[in-house]
Amino acid sequence: MNKYLLPLIAVVILIPILILGLRSDPRELPSQYIGKPAPEFDLPTLKDPEKRVSTANLRGEVSLVNIWATWCAGCRAEHDFLMQLNREQVIPIYAINWRDNRPGALDWLAQLGDPYVASGFDEDGRVGIDWGVYGAPETFLVNAEGYVLFRYPGPLNRAVWDHEFAPRIAELKK
Amino acid sequence: MIPEIGHFALILALSLAVCQSVLPMIGAQRNDAALMSIARTAAYGQFLFVAISFACLTWAFAHDDFSVLYVANHSQLSLPAGYKISAVWSAHEGSLLMWILILAAWTMAVARFTSEVPDILRSRVIGVLGFLSVGFLLFALLTSNPFERLIPAALDGADLNPLLQDPGLAIHPPLLYIGYVGFSVAFAFAIAAMIGGDLDQNWARWTRPWTVVAWLFLTLGIALGSWWAYYELGWGGWWFWDAVENASFMPWLIGTALIHSLAVTERRGLFKSWTLLLSISAFSLSLLGTFLVRSGIIVSVHAFATDPTRGFFILGFLGVVVIGALALYAWRAPSLDSNVGFSLLSRETFLLLNNVLLVVATILVLMGTLAPLVVEMLNGGKISIGPPWFEVAFMVPMIPLVLLLGLGMHTAWRKQSKDPWIRLLRTPVIVAVIIGIVLPLMFYGRVSLLLVVGCAAAAWIVISSLIQPIRSWRRKQGATAITRSALGMSIAHLGMGLFVIGVTIVSAFGVESDRAMRPGETLEVAGFAFELREVRDVQGPNYTAIEGVVEVRRDGEFIAMVRPQKRQYLVQKNWMTEAGIHPTWNKDLFIALGDQLGNDTWSVRIQYKPMISFIWIGCFIMALGGLVTVSDRRYRKSAS
């Protein structure tokens, strides 16, 4: 085959990928999850591999599920705010420690503080894929029946909280 | 009124750009001097109207005209005057307008400084640039008009994103864009040569300075962006492999390959198809970068627009430009390529390896950036590739590249005889390896394989780039002096060496520590004692801040007083970290103030960053090398 044609062929293959990429807005949760039960998971906890945390833990109370990893700079940015939420006892925060290594993640929590009720350790990223995680950090709002109500990709802070989460939680508590 | 003038000027610029893209092309085809002479006039006129439009938008910002939607969204009354100006390009519409302005400026420069270039080639180059202007002007006018009104006008604006309120970020986008857009000139030269079916060594001599200037601005822009992320985001990292960073890094890698490939085409008339392909790729990747950032298909800390129409427009334009250019390449490049032989041990071989390795590096970065999209298509899951993958993958082509660099510089064109080559390089190689082992041991007391490779490679580049300038400086009377372009190459490579030292040392010996501290407490990090003296409130022009006062001592001796802040901007209410940094030439002490953990207790992040300044100094010296290269006599001749 003509070697001068190769770049053209490569690009012709690449462009449909970009078009498909455009069709999905990463700021929205793929519709199949919203208002549906949270995707099932059952993971060993970060602190103790013998213990487990699963979708069952999410039932009974409105909670957050936060996806984080030590390699993720945005997670570091939001960590202080998560600590604040935890201190104010606003809502229980569960975590999925995603595609990370255990000693590093434990070290992180020891140094920066641990705002989580429990962290599931999702080493191979399987649960992240089930949840449709696009990139860390991401935070899901789950209601008392274990249904996903809202997903926010990107670091949390006070402004995001007041805008996106607080009104939704207030709605639930009515 | 003024915003309407700006809008109207933009429409006039579009009409001129259409003339600029069509008429000179027809003129060049028919060899019609009158039509070709339109190229210059249209280019000047287009620049004038784009500049008027840009000035109008700047005026609206400077005068707080909150009846303009874009101004109301991105400025605010109490914003310091300097930031009102830089707010012009703080978001999508304005930065697009700046992109257009810079493209028009490059076009004008091409029109002005190419008197040596034949009329036909120049007309085609300006015509291609005009086509690009048409695309971007349409993009602005149809999807992202910066002059859209807000009625009724807002009383006050929503403020500039506090992250962007920083001198580094005020000048980072212009530099980056000058680089990005500058590659359009090499692109236009490549297209023009392929249309004309004629590509000789003169063509490379005309194209090269434009490419080097674009590359040096891109280098500065990326370095500045990385420096900004380092001190403003408060994490202490300098590169995050974020999609937007990658978007600027890929054109840089290809641009670097292009500069080297052009050198071969200029000196030896070889690698023509490489040079053409790299010219097309460098600019296409700049466009892809714009697409990735603007369309929001990849969300990152930087992305500020998520609007599918914009994405479709850019993608459509990207498709037309890239597919058109590559189809032309597939058709014309085979007849342009020339086959002159060169032996295995020759500079040509090393430059070929350089091209291949840089292209491989670019493909790896591209794969890492697009992989999330591809996986999503295959199984519907969404994934993200983290820095660990990039760090490992990127090493694979980079280590050989860095090692071969020093060899290539001292190899003759065409054919290098072996013995003198080995005699010349034997000592530097041995010295470099010794330095690679001794340097980390002596200063930091620890050594590992990767460290030795990094330090030895850096020492090797530094030494080998100094050989030629030193020889030239000590030469006997009458011997030929080093040319500016060879000197520029040595300087740029020296910069690369310093960069490698910085990266190696800081990633091996950097120390990070996050602690809760009370005023009066002292924390020991990397041999330095950090005492948090007090935490107090400070008032800024449009923010209030909490400032930690940290005294740094070493062995009891006072070193510095560092004042990290946490700022809350009054309008948007965001908290921003303003790290306190005590920089010296061989280390940075980096302190960021975190959250208040309890009564009088603060989380404090302290980092010791040895040699980190070398990363940016290295980039700066690389850019300086580019500047020295373009000042070479043979390019100045073509400029005047």
Asked if B149 and B68 touch (Cβ cutoff 8 Å), the reply is yes
Which phi and psi angles does B585 have, rounded to 5°?
-65, -30
* Better pLDDT: B640 or A12: A12
Output the average pLDDT for chain B.
Answer: 87
| Position B433 pLDDT exceeds 80 | yes
Q: Is the pLDDT of residue A132 over 80?
A: no
Please say whether the beta carbons of B372 and B415 come within 8 A.
Answer: no
| Structural domain range at position A165 | 34-173
Give yes or no for a contact between A124 and A40, defined as CB atoms under 8 angstroms apart: no
In tens, the pLDDT along B400-416 reads 999 999 899 999 898 88
Strand B580-584 and strand B575-578: the pairing is: unpaired
Integer CA distances (angstroms), B424 to B135, B271, B311, B410, B471, in order: 52, 28, 54, 8, 12
Predicted local confidence at residue B349, as pLDDT: 93
Peptide bond into B152 cis (omega under 30): yes
In a domain, A59, yes or no: yes
Please name which of B169, B164, B147 lies closest in space to residue B97, comparing C-alpha atoms: B147
CB-based contact (8 Å) between A83 and chain B?
yes
Domains of chain B: 1-160 (no CATH), 168-336+350-373 (1.20.120), 511-614 (no CATH)
Q: Verify cis geometry, omega within 30 degrees of 0, for the bond prior to A137.
A: yes
Contact check, Cβ <8 Å, A77/B575: no
Q: Which residue of A has its CA nearest to B292?
A: A18
Provide the pLDDT confidence category of residue B460 given band limits of 50, 70 and 90.
Answer: very high
CA distance A159 to chain B (A): 7
The answer to whether B217 and B586 have CB atoms below 8 angstroms apart is: no
Q: Give CA–CA dist A133/A124, Å, rounded.
A: 13
Helix (H, G, I), strand (E, B) or coil at A64: strand
| Listed residue (A86, A106, A87) closest to A44, CA to CA | A106
* Residue numbers in A near B373 (CB within 8 A): 17-18, 20-21
Question: For residue A1, is pLDDT > 60?
Answer: no
Residue B220 CB contacts under 8 Å (≥ 6 apart), including other chains:
B175, B179, B619, B620, B623
Q: Can you tell me whether residue B517 is helix, strand or coil? A: strand
Q: Tell whether A48 is covered by a domain.
A: yes
DSSP element (H, E) containing B219: helix B201-232
Cα–Cα distance, A109 to B111 (Å, whole number): 60
E strand segments, B415-489 = none
Query: What is the reported pLDDT for B304?
Result: 38
Sign of CA pseudo-dihedral B618, B622, B627, B631: positive
pLDDT band at A24 (very low <50, low <70, confident <90, very high): low
CA dist B357 to B132, B296, B383, B457, Å? 30, 30, 27, 16
Residues 125-154 of A with CB under 8 A from B: 125, 128-130, 132-136, 153-154
- Residue A68: helix, strand or coil by DSSP? strand
Does residue A19 lie in a domain region? no
Give the 3-state secondary structure of residue A30. Answer: coil
Q: How far apart are CA A111 and CA B605, in angstroms?
A: 10
- Which residue from B273, B327, B382 is facing A133, i.e. has the nearest CB? B382
- Residue keyed to tokens 């039932």: A59
pLDDT for residue B143: 86
Residue B299 confidence (pLDDT):
47
In a domain, A18, yes or no: no
Residue A131 lies in a domain: yes
Q: B184: which 2 tokens? A: 């359009």
CA separation, residue B633 to residues B185, B470, B487, B638 (Å): 21, 21, 12, 9
How many other CB atoms are there within 10 angstroms of residue B498's CB atom? 24
The position carrying tokens 């309120």 is B165
Residue B462: predicted pLDDT: 94
Q: How would residue A116 be classed by pLDDT, with cut points 50, 70 and 90?
A: very high
Q: Mark yes or no for CB contact B334/A4 under 8 Å.
A: yes
Question: Which chain A residue is nearest to residue B284, measuring alpha carbons?
Answer: A11
CA atoms within 13 A on the CB side of B364: 19
> Over 60: is that where the pLDDT of B301 sits?
no
Is some CB atom of chain B closer than 8 A to the CB atom of A69? Answer: yes
Tokens of B630: 């373009």
Whether B640 shows a pLDDT value over 50: the answer reads no
The more confidently predicted of residues B596 and B308 is B596
Task: Print burial letters for B52-78: b (CB count within 10 Å at least 16), e (below 16).
Answer: bbbbbbbbbbbebbbebbbbbbbbbee
Q: Answer yes or no: is pLDDT of B266 > 80.
A: yes
What is the average pLDDT across B325-344?
Answer: 86
Q: Which residues of chain B have a CB within 8 Å of the CB of A157?
A: 574-575
Q: Does A2 touch chain B (CB under 8 A)?
A: yes
Q: Which residues in B236-323 belong to E strands, given as ranges?
A: none
DSSP letter for each residue of B44-75: HHHHHHHHHHHHHHHHHHHTT-TTBHHHHHH-
- pLDDT value at residue B167: 80
CA B30 vs. chain centroid, Å, equals 39
Alpha helices, DSSP H, located in chain A: 6-23, 73-87, 102-112, 126-130, 158-160, 166-173
pLDDT for B127-148, tens place per residue? 999 999 999 999 999 988 999 8
Q: Does A99 touch chain B (CB under 8 A)?
A: yes
Interface A–B counts its CB contacts (< 8 A) at: 130
A39 touches chain B (CB under 8 A): no
* Cβ–Cβ below 8 Å for A26 and B377: no
Which of A22, A112, A134 is closest, CB to CB, to B384?
A134
Looking at the structure of chain A, the number of domains it has is 1
Rg (CA), chain A: 19
Sheet containing B511-517: give its strands across: B511-517, B601-610, B587-598, B580-584
Q: Which pLDDT value is given to residue B450?
A: 85
Chain B positions touching A20 (Cβ under 8 A) are: 373, 376-377
Residue A20 lies in a domain: no
Q: Which residues of A touch B334 (CB under 8 A)?
A: 2, 4
* Tens-place pLDDT, residues B472-491: 888 776 667 788 989 999 99
- Cα Rg for chain B, rounded, in angstroms? 26
Distance CA B152, CA B61 (A): 17
DSSP A132: T
Placement of tokens 């579009």 in the chain? B14
- B536-543 contacts, C-beta under 8 A, 24 or more apart: B538/B565, B540/B567, B541/B78, B541/B80, B542/B76, B542/B78, B542/B79, B542/B80, B542/B159, B542/B165, B542/B569, B542/B570, B542/B571, B543/B162, B543/B567, B543/B568, B543/B569, B543/B570, B543/B576
CB B251 within 8 A of CB B245: no
- What is residue B383's predicted lDDT score, i.e. its pLDDT? 58
Residues of B with CB below 8 A from A22's CB? 295, 297, 308, 311-312, 315
Distance CA B402, CA B394 (A): 12
Residues of B in contact with A77 (CB under 8 A): 233-235
Max Cα distance, chain A (Å): 68
Give the CA-trace dihedral at A11, A12, A13, A14, to 10 degrees.
Answer: 50
Q: What is the mean predicted confidence (pLDDT) over A71-97?
A: 86
Instruction: Report the complex ipTM.
Output: 0.76
A8-27 residues touching B, CB cutoff 8 A: 8, 11-12, 14-15, 17-27
Backbone angles phi, psi at B343, to 5 degrees: -80, 170
CATH number at residue A68: 3.40.30.10
For the cut 90, the answer to whether the pLDDT of residue B492 exceeds it is: yes
Among A130-144, B180-194, B517-531, B533-547, the minimum mean pLDDT is found in A130-144
Distance from A4 to chain B by nearest Cα, in Å?
5
B392: exposed, middle or buried (Cβ count in 10 Å: 0-12, 13-18, 19+): exposed
Say if the Cβ atoms of B372 and A134 lie within 8 Å: yes
User: Would you place residue A29 in the very low, low, confident or very high pLDDT band (cuts 50, 70, 90)?
Assistant: very low
Q: What are residue B385's phi and psi, to 5 degrees?
A: -100, 125
Q: Is residue A138 part of a domain?
A: yes
Residue with tokens 């280019």: B43
The answer to whether the Cβ–Cβ distance between B595 and A83 falls below 8 Å is yes
Short-list B131, B164, B137, B170, CA closest to B53: B137
User: How far does A133 lie from chain B, in Å, by closest CA?
Assistant: 5
Q: What is the dihedral of CA B192, B50, B320, B38, to 10 degrees?
A: -40
* CA distances (Å), origin B209, targets A167, B110, B351, B639: 57, 11, 18, 9
Range of weakest confidence among B80-89, B406-415, B418-427, B574-583: B574-583
Provide the pLDDT for residue A55: 85
**Is residue A157 less than 8 Å (CB to CB) from chain B?**
yes
Q: What are the pLDDT digits (tens) for B53-104?
A: 999 999 999 999 989 988 988 888 888 888 999 999 888 889 899 999 999 9
* A62 in Cβ contact with A91 (< 8 Å): yes
Q: Taking a C-beta distance cutoff of 8 angstroms, is the pair A72, B386 a contact? A: yes
**Average pLDDT over all residues of chain A:** 81
Find which of B163, B235, B595, B602 to mutate to test the A interface (most A CBs within 10 Å of its CB): B595
